[in-house]
A and B are shown apart, each in its own frame.
Chain A
Amino acid sequence: MKNFFRKVAFGLKPDEKISSDPLVWATSQITDEIPDFSFKGKIYSEKELRKHYKEWVFNDRKKLRKKFKKDKKGYKSAKNKLRADTGQKFWRNLELAIRHKEATIGSHPVLTKLWYFWGNHFTISDKDFLSHYTTGAYQRETIRLNMNQTFEKLAHEATVAWAMIHHLDNAVNVGPKSEDAKADWRKRKKRPATINENHARELLELHTVSPNSGYTQENITELAMIMTGWAPNDEQHKSLLETANVKFQRKYHQPGKKLFWGKEFPKGKKGLPAAIKFLANHKSCREFIAYKLCRYLITDYPTKDMTDPIVKAWEKNDGFLPEVHKAAIKVAFEFNDKHKKFQTPENWWLQMARMTDAKWPPSDDKFDTYQLGFGPDPYQAKPHKFMKDMGHHPYLSQQPNGFSDLAEDWMSPELIIRRLLYARQGYINLKPDNKNDEFFEKVVTNNFDNPEKIMKILNKNEKTIDKHILLFNLPEVLRA
């Protein structure tokens, strides 16, 4: 039963009380209010961070490339200075620290584990410099803050988020009969306006109904037409380039009412919300999300009796996410003993940190000492370095489908080497007073149903570091 605390969260701290009703413990964390962050250092808004992105893009593209056109060395050096001046290598460390603190010391670890699910569902993959400046903030402000809304609202907010619009190229999705299509420069340059299908395709395939719904290429094109016009506002100051706020701009929008999947949708600004409403309420969408939730929490191969209660909760509550989440947690509880889920590297790492009350992430005040103009110091740089090395940096997914949650995708000699090496790192992160046998016994007793058996295995080692490495590579820990 105790594995449930890891299945739906990150395990229990050594002194954390074991709830007599784990299901109540878990569902009570899913509240209508999204709690404040546990991280007490300075947290920057997405807009503030996007200003740094703008500075980087504008100065690099409009100034440095021209100034150092014939001086490669000079360009490299000036670019490095610009990196430091815009905090390029610092922000993602700060964001990971904020994210990880919710798992390691936060009071709502169940909500946090679900936050990670949605962040991965609405992935911003590693493109341009999004991971450096805005992906973390997008996951805080767009994903987490909408987890107490309906799926439709979350999907809408994620779709029109600046990071997503940029990520999936909707900024260059232009109606072929739009006002902009008639612009003189297009005629002069012989560059007709066309749609860009990228965002529409992923909105269907990855974010809402999935290919199981049977949409066609024609449906993708139709949705792309509806999505024309949602782009960074190019009427704002020109120096903002592509970093201006997203706004519906009629001049890029394909005029007229639209047909999509055999239904008529309104023209203009109302088209996209209506399309998202249609998709969010499609049967395939709730089935797809229910399946993914079960795959994330319970087993690589969910069954209908797992997904059905989640689908029903969705239908009963119009996709209100807190109720959908509670249903998913309940199913995870009911199937807890039958299925053990292989934990992804980030979940595993954070479980190790929470269960051992380790010093992770680096403390808040270490991040508050950061000054623009410099790179992160070795402590501040740890979150990015570690997660990248483990192959599970949540802002560096290589493709828009995010990271896999299937065991087979996390099994390779190199990935298992990472588990061994980072179990050692986990020991290094322990508080000095906790590097002893009594402490391990406490950790094991609080988190496993078979503490004697586990302690017997651990005690075959003399060194506490070896006990630690062994513990966090036991099948009981790799799976939950």
Chain B
Amino acid sequence: MKISRRNFLKGSLTTLFLAGSGFPVYSSTENKKNLVVIMLRGGMDALCAVPVVGDKNFEKRRKELILDNTIKLNSDFSLHPGLTNFHELWKEKKSAIVHATNIPYTERSHFDGQNLMESGGKIPYKVKTGWLGRGMKVAGLKQEGLALALPMPLILRGVPQNNNYFPTKGKLPSDKVLALLKDVYSDRSEDELIGMLEIIKSRPKETSYAADDTYSLASEAGTLMKEPNGPRVAVFEVGGFDTHAAQGGEHGTHSDCLKEMDLIFATLKKRLKDQFDNTLIVTLTEFGRTIKQNSGLGTEHGYGSAIFMGGGLLKKNQVYADWPGLKNKELFQGRDLNSTIDARSVYASAMSTVFDLDFKRIQKDVFWGEDLQNLSDKLFKA
């Protein structure tokens, strides 16, 4: 394990210096740029997905969950062997990782944590909109969001008339019925329902085939986002990361979830074609997992995790971290990988890059002026 906190701090001073230089991060507005968020529900185990290399503190706590055939990324970190597509992107310098990061939430409840990872707030259930929805609102991106899920996730709320795609078979009512319904909704000031009927009116009247597997959803998202007038923001959900027992290593439950995420990266690359270069993909999870395996060969709720990123808007392939170390005294509450980067700094920087907005504006209008770090020049292409 070569990486140390001191090594990193040299880098972070540079970051602070540049951030303080007052240069706003503006990208070209010639091309349509896309932002994709993949929510990893259940608490993604960053040390299973991106294990640290040669750290005895890690190896002794994870005897049976240590992976044998990892993919080497650099001298300090490797990659879960199931993430082959992510690794292909890495080789093309189109994927990167932020490690030892999380939202500032330490209570280890899935549900409070998921609420906060989507709202971007600090008190569970207090904020009724999502950081992505608020960011889109600031960027003036109305009707540009697409959720690849049946419900509309909290993260996208805050800007009206987002769309979602989760197909089913059947025949919609006639235009006359929809128009009548719209009249009734108008009479009753049911604005949200009116907005949805508007979207529904543009859907095919009859659908005889519907596939809602991950590949099909990602294919549709990529195909739509490739179009100049297609959505600019998409949100996916991958569940099942909560592996308290039988977590598995190279194979098993956690691995299956990671592969599902990997499939989204690959499918978006395939469908977006050249537009992949104008796209940024970031992942989001509520917390990481304990360093130590339990006797059911699983892991418990933790704190620090990692963010996977992909797309042509990345600056380079890298594992970006202020590595906290895994010695007992370096762990959060003696049990978890610590978080040294507020994950919201990454998301704010990502929005700044993709939405062509000044970081400080995102910081102020989306994250209430909280103390976030502008990582745009470290992670993304200006």
Question: A residues engaging B (CB < 8 A)?
Answer: 168-169, 171-174, 186, 190-198, 201, 205-206, 211, 217, 389, 391, 398-401, 408-418, 420-421, 424-425, 457, 460-461, 466, 469-470, 473-475
Count A-B contacts at CB 8 Å. 143
Interface membership of chain B positions 146-163, coded 1 if the CB is closer than 8 angstroms to chain A and 0 otherwise: 010011100001000001
Within 8 Å CB of A198, what residues of B?
Answer: 242, 244-245, 300
How does the 8 Å CB contact mask read for B90-115 relative to A, with 1 for contact and 0 for none?
00000000000000000111111000
CB distance from B357 to the nearest CB of A (A): 26
Residue of A whose beta carbon sits closest to that of B240: A398
CA distance A193 to B200 in the complex (A): 55
A461–B183 Cα distance when bound, in Å, is: 13
Contacts of A421 in B (CB 8 A): 168, 170-172
Complex-state Cα separation, A466 to B112, whole angstroms: 42
Q: Is the CB of A205 within 8 A of B109?
A: yes
A selection of 29 A-B contacts at a CB cut-off of 8 Å is A171-B296, A172-B244, A172-B298, A191-B63, A191-B295, A192-B295, A193-B295, A196-B296, A197-B244, A198-B244, A391-B150, A398-B239, A399-B41, A408-B157, A409-B151, A412-B164, A412-B196, A413-B164, A414-B164, A414-B166, A417-B170, A417-B172, A417-B200, A421-B171, A421-B172, A466-B173, A466-B177, A470-B181, A473-B181
Q: Within 8 Å of chain A (Cβ to Cβ): is B10? A: no
Knowing A169-B298, A413-B199 touch, does A469 contact B177 (C-beta < 8 A)? yes
Question: Of B165, B188, B244, B245, which one neighbours A475 at CB under 8 angstroms?
Answer: B188
Whether, in the assembled complex, B203 has its beta carbon less than 8 Å from a beta carbon of chain A, the answer is yes
Q: Which of A400, A413, A470 contacts B196 (CB 8 A)?
A: A413
Instruction: Determine whether the beta carbon of B190 is less than 8 Å from that of A475.
Output: yes
Taken together as a complex, chains A and B put the C-alpha atoms of A461 and B163 apart, in Å, by 29
B185-213 at interface with A (beta carbon < 8 Å) = 185, 188, 190, 192-193, 196-197, 199-200, 203
Known contacts A211-B107, A391-B150, A401-B110; A190 and B63 CB within 8 A of each other: yes
Question: Which of chain A's residues have a CB closer than 8 A to the CB of B173?
Answer: 420, 424, 466, 469-470
Report chain B residues within 8 Å CB of A415: 150-151
CA–CA, A398 and B110, complex, Å: 12
Q: Are A413 and B150 in contact (CB under 8 A)?
A: no
CB–CB B151/A466 < 8 A: no
Task: Determine whether the beta carbon of A412 is less than 8 Å from that of B64.
Answer: no
Q: Does B248 contact A (CB under 8 A)?
A: no
What are the interface flags for B60-87 relative to A under an 8 Å C-beta threshold, 1 for contact and 0 otherwise?
A: 0001100000000000000000000000
The complex places the Cα of A171 from the Cα of B297 at a distance, in Å, of: 12
Whether B301 and A201, one on each chain, are in contact in the complex, defined by CB atoms closer than 8 angstroms, is yes
Complex: A211 Cα to B279 Cα, angstroms? 39
B244 touches A169 (CB 8 A): yes
4 nearest CB pairs, A to B: A172-B296, A421-B170, A412-B152, A198-B244
Cβ of B181: which chain A residues have Cβ within 8 Å of it?
470, 473-474
A457–B168 CA distance with the chains assembled, in angstroms: 28
Q: Is B184 an interface residue (CB 8 A)?
A: yes
Question: Residue A399 contacts which of B110, B152, B165, B168 (CB distance < 8 angstroms)?
Answer: B110
Give A417 to B212 CA distance when docked, in angstroms: 15
